A and B are shown apart, each in its own frame.
Chain A
Amino acid sequence: MIQMFHVTKAYPGDPPVLVDINLDIDKGEFVFLTGPSGAGKSTLLKLMFLAERPTRGQVLLAGRNVARLRESGIPYLRRNIGVVFQDFKLLPTRTVAENVGFTLDVLGTPRDEVRDRSLKMLRRVGLEHKADVSPVKLSGGEQQRVSLARALVNDPALLLADEPTGNLDPALTVEIMDLLTDVNARGTTVVVATHDATLIERYQKRTLRLEKGTMVADERGAKAARLMSQTA
């Protein structure tokens, strides 16, 4: 699903954010991306949904070389990728349901269907009763769930989530993680950036660890959990 070969990302005048990253995430995998703040997790995610292009190296998405992709082809690739942003990126001028439906609007989905599917998705994240309020009236955790609903409403092949449980209490964290594993069980590849060690310990999934822009570990299951508990 996602392959990176010797990927380096640097912004002019600054030390590189990512250095010589190699990774291969298969279709249907569930992967944690972890590491301290500023390690390059968000930048790595941005490379995955084409918000950034690598300075050096190759990125392959669903077998397609991003470097060879024309600017006009990016939107069509993105339609298969759901993204949960760390800062949610919800529109304060739209209702919660409209925010969720935004993804479907872009595809020209009829209005009624947009509404139906948005409400169904909101039910899954437990926010159906908040469908017609502005996101600014929601708590951080609720906004995060709206952002997740928007990312999932289109049944994407790939879900990228940047700290999706960062603002949630333990009970809600479990709910959201259950939702993510459920989505993953249905075939969606899931990449979750988090620095929450307990999540990694509990779910025992493949874990990629970044430090200062370099990939320092790529462990699966119990080993990853053990590593996490040592470094935490």
Chain B
Amino acid sequence: MSATSKLAYFVRTAVGSIVRSPFVHVIAVASLSLSLLGFGVARLARAQLDALVDSLGGEVELTVYLAGDAPAEQVAELERALTQRTGGEVRRVSPAEALGRLATQLGEDGKGLTELSDNPLPWSLEVRLPKAARDPAALADLATRTRALPFVTGVDYGEEALARLTMIARALEIASLIVFSLVFLTAVIVVSATLQLAIFARREEIEIQKLVGATDRFVRVPFLLEGLLQGLLAAALALLAVLGLVTWLESGDGGLLAFTRLDGRLLVDWARLSAELVGIGCLLGLLGSFIAVRRFLRV
């Protein structure tokens, strides 16, 4: 009883079964790859939406307006504290710079500003907020505390915009979780049903194997191998389909779907997506086979 001849037998049996009844296997691979395609597209969409939210939130800034007589020492200390709390970069903006910016923003209408003899704008500190520091509650707390300082005249951080952005991000999170669960559930049901169909066609073979003294493991292994092969094949097909979809969208013929593009390119982490699709494909194939073959082992 040698392990190599057994392994050779398993591979021969698995491949032979695919060759002998291609139709059932085509259906199994098709349903698997459709499920994986659903997963891939959901992943793709999620990545684009994440990027979109990121780009919208790229300008989140906290501005602290200082009193004219703010002591330099305390301002420096506030700068340090802000850097520490938010992890962001703090910049000191002089009244002249602020006025210049405002003038540029206003364009033609702002021309008069440069002729003012007295600059009405205060010194300010601008903090570019990194993603991690954009928690609305924490920022509100920080703003309140900063406002309480005697040398601070005001704090502004686009409160409403940030709150809306956070809500969108949370909604996306929930939506993608629902989509993932639905796709996965559908996949498990469809795949195990299809595989059961494939195995039902071979219940006679299983019965005879068991009657001539095959162990359950011996009967099961070729089916698991088949499931694995189907999973791999389905993952490859799904990847190709995603690649086709991405190419089509990026080519500009994407029609209605074109809005998902950010400056003409789609964000795709191919290595990760491939690993995920292959992993999930193999898992689904194995799991589906395992569940499906169980029913027929009792002889």
Contact = CB atoms under 8 A, between A and B. Distances in A.
Partners in one complex: yes
A49 B211 contact: yes
A89 interface: yes
Contact of B213 (A76, A85, A91): A76
Interface stretch (A35-43, A108-116, A209-217): A108-116
B205 A91 contact: yes
A72 B220 CA distance: 14
Contacts of A49: 211
B13 to A, nearest CB: 8
Interface residues of A, number: 25
Interface string B204-220: 11011111111110100
A106 B214 contact: yes
B117 interface: no
Given A51-B299, A93-B20, A107 B208 contact: no
A106 B204 contact: no
Contacts of A83: 211-212
Nearest to B2: A108
Contacts of A89: 204, 207-208, 211
Instruction: Summarize B's interface: helix, strand, loop or mixed.
Output: helix
B213 A107 contact: yes
Nearest to B210: A75
A197 B27 CA distance: 52
B9 A75 contact: no
Contacts of B1: 107-109
A117 interface: no
B169 to A, nearest CB: 53
A150 B205 contact: no
Contacts of A111: 5, 8-9
Interface centre among A51, A93, A109 (most CB of B within 10 A): A93
Contacts of A105: 9
Interface residues of B, number: 23
Contacts of B6: 108
Contact of A108 (B5, B20, B207, B208): B5
A103 interface: yes
B9 A108 contact: yes
A78 interface: yes
A194 to B, nearest CB: 20
Interface string B8-35: 1100000000001100000000000000
Nearest to A79: B213
Given A79-B213, A107-B213, A102 B208 contact: yes
Contacts of A91: 204-205, 208
B212 A102 contact: yes
Q: Give the interface centre of B1, B5, B211, B218 by most chain A CB atoms within 10 Å.
A: B211
A212 to B, nearest CB: 27
B146 to A, nearest CB: 71
A84 to B, nearest CB: 11
Contacts of B21: 93
Nearest to A113: B5
Nearest to B205: A91
Contact of B211 (A51, A76, A107): A51
Contacts of B137: none
B26 to A, nearest CB: 17
B52 to A, nearest CB: 54
Contact of B209 (A77, A102, A110, A154): A102
A106 B211 CA distance: 10
B282 to A, nearest CB: 25
B1 to A, nearest CB: 4
B3 interface: yes
25 contacts: A51-B211, A51-B299, A72-B215, A75-B210, A75-B218, A76-B213, A78-B210, A79-B212, A79-B213, A81-B213, A83-B212, A91-B204, A91-B205, A93-B20, A93-B21, A102-B209, A102-B212, A103-B212, A105-B9, A106-B213, A108-B2, A108-B6, A109-B5, A110-B2, A154-B212
Given A105-B9, A108-B2, 4 more contacts: A75-B218, A81-B213, A106-B214, A111-B5
